[in-house]
Amino acid sequence: MNVSPSGAGQVKVNDEIYTGSIRCAPNADVELEAVPATGYVFINWSGALDGNDNPATLSMTCSKAVTANFISENLVGTIGDFVWEDKDADGIQDSGEPGINGVVVNLYDAGDNLIKTTATAGGGFYSFIDLEPGNYYLIFTYSIGGYIFSPINQGSNDLVDSDVDFEGRTAIIALAYGQTDMKWDAGMYRPNSLSYSIPLSSGLNLVSLPLIPKETQPQVVLASLDFSIAAMYKKSEEAFKAYIKVFPPEVGFVWKDGLGYWFNMNGPGALAVTGSELPGDSTAPLSYDLSTGWNLIGFKSTTPRQPENYLAGLDGKYRIIYGYGNGGFFIVGTEGHEFMEPGRGYWIDMTEKGTIYPPLEQIIENITVQQAYDMIHAVPAIPGLVILDVRTQTEYDSGHIENAAHLDYYSPTFTQDLNNLDKTGTYIVYCGSGGRSAKALNIMKDLGFREAYNMLGGTNAWTTAGFPVVN
């Protein structure tokens, strides 16, 4: 009779404690009961007896060796892994298919009780830590971008397939004591075309296309819309081009994203736009050029954005932006009109030429040391990942995360040094306890960094978790 690990418990044989060999009558049935020591729990039998029934019955037809296996009750488990953009919609992670940030992941127990909630970060990764053993399931949700879930359980490799159904739900996950189960992935993809509906009121409306339109012939797109006239402003000719409903569009009238359109509606209605969003994996999305003076522009996004974010490439090159609604003009960026809105067009007064590069979602978030560790050791590696230590040189030399770059937060050139970095990369920023790195992240946000994360707790939390540093 054996116990593993030593000292973790004892075994009763027919209600008597035994720790070594025992003799039993031939063909006798004996009852074995595992009794854990303080701080341990019984998990299973091995050897001549298997399973986790406790007590269990053993038939003595010959000499038999049995081991009672225990585990520390302080061990907790982890569930997690990865959400990716499944570009070919085949349900299998392929090289070059990026992770998706901002996917909300909800953890439920088998009784349908919500236990924890997190969101993917650092290139699509997530994890739930400190979990007790038991049965769980996950539900993934994503409301932006028109994604739907990939086919479930494709191929033969469970490490690279999608594990969620069309509603974003996994099967039951049976988590054992201390188990780390990092194979619950979700593939998501955009259908070939998306639809967006722009509400229109009676009278004048100033609109634009939030999607790259699939159909570029206005006669086709606007056939069912009850309007008297539509017009666009052609900057190169400094003239309006009209489309009167009962006649063909005037030569020069074009239907495309990036432009604004006036509609004079005979009654309320809705403009249906079918097309695609900006490329999800591009750091320089489709752009459009503006000239000096007034330009009638579109807003190419299905998500409201602050003008200073959307027009970051025009910083210092324009005076004012006007929108139109409720029968009058308003200034964009003021109280009540802080955001540029999908489906709306805008007048912008340029002091010099410029180009709009509609930005992808800026991600500035906090992550745990476990999430940071998972990002750093991700396979395949996250493209452009930079680990940035913002402590002093002395602190950095005393021990830092391997391959971490260094910029001293207290340096008088810190902001300038940050501004010289590649803003399209992915950054994990840390300090000693999380204070300086949080401030650094705010500066990076203002500088227009695309994706940056503050590691909560800094190196104090990192080393407490048992993760290594180098000198």
Q: What is the pLDDT of residue 384?
A: 77
Same domain, 221 and 321: yes
Same domain, 90 and 63: no
Give the structural domain span for 331: 195-356
Q: Which of 124, 136, 148 is nearest to 76 (CA)?
A: 136
Residue 171 domain-assigned (yes or no): yes
Both ends of the chain: CA-CA distance in Å? 48
User: Does pLDDT of 76 surpass 50?
Assistant: yes
CA distance 243 to 233: 12
Q: What is the pLDDT of residue 382?
A: 75
Question: Other CB atoms closer than 10 Å to residue 437's CB: what's the count?
Answer: 26
Residue 470 domain-assigned (yes or no): no
User: Does pLDDT of 43 surpass 70?
Assistant: yes
Q: What is the pLDDT of residue 21?
A: 72
DSSP state of 314: G
Q: Return the higher-pLDDT residue of 205 and 211.
A: 205
Averaged pLDDT for residues 208-219: 90
Cβ pair 211, 276 in contact under 8 A: yes
Angle (CA) 361 163 90, round 5°: 75
Same domain, 50 and 170: no
User: Does pLDDT of 285 surpass 60?
Assistant: no
Q: Return the higher-pLDDT residue of 4 and 320.
A: 320
Whether cis (ω within 30° of 0) applies to the bond prior to 5 is yes
Same domain, 152 and 209: no
Same domain, 346 and 368: no
Quick: pLDDT tens for 330-375: 999 887 888 899 999 999 999 999 888 765 556 788 889 998 998 8
Same domain, 323 and 351: yes
User: Does pLDDT of 273 surpass 70?
Assistant: yes
Averaged pLDDT for residues 396-425: 92
Same domain, 317 and 448: no
Quick: pLDDT tens for 443-461: 988 787 878 999 999 999 9
Which stretch, 299-308, 397-406, 438-447, has highest mean pLDDT?
A: 397-406
The CATH code of the domain that includes 110 is 2.60.40.10
CA distance 432 to 389: 9
Residue 44 domain-assigned (yes or no): yes
Lowest mean pLDDT across 116-120, 240-244, 277-281, 302-306? 277-281
Q: What is the pLDDT of residue 364?
A: 84
Which stretch, 80-89, 95-104, 404-413, has highest mean pLDDT?
A: 404-413
Same domain, 307 and 238: yes
Quick: pLDDT tens for 368-395: 999 899 888 876 677 778 999 999 999 9
Same domain, 60 and 96: no
Residue 471 domain-assigned (yes or no): no
Angle (CA) 81 84 86, round 5°: 140
Same domain, 346 and 434: no
User: Does pLDDT of 145 surpass 80?
Assistant: no
Whether cis (ω within 30° of 0) applies to the bond prior to 199 is no
Residue 262 domain-assigned (yes or no): yes
Q: What is the pLDDT of residue 20?
A: 66
Domain end position, chosen among 161, 189, 217 = 189
Averaged pLDDT for residues 205-223: 92
Percent of the chain with pLDDT over 70: 94
Residue 98 domain-assigned (yes or no): yes
CA dist 126 → 109, 119, 155, 373 (Å): 18, 6, 23, 11
Whether cis (ω within 30° of 0) applies to the bond prior to 213 is no
Report yes or no on whether pTM surpasses 0.75. no
Same domain, 286 and 306: yes
Residue 300 domain-assigned (yes or no): yes
CA distance 399 to 452: 22
DSSP state of 98: P
Confidence of residue 284 (pLDDT cuts 50, 70, 90): very low
Residue 469 domain-assigned (yes or no): no
Domains in the chain: how many in total? 4
Domain end position, chosen among 72, 87, 104 = 72
Confidence of residue 192 (pLDDT cuts 50, 70, 90): low
Quick: pLDDT tens for 11-31: 998 888 876 677 777 778 889
Q: Which residues contact 261 (CB under 8 A, 6 or more apart)?
A: 206, 207, 208, 230, 231, 232, 345
Q: What is the pLDDT of residue 361?
A: 56
Domain end position, chosen among 56, 72, 88 = 72
Same domain, 93 and 207: no
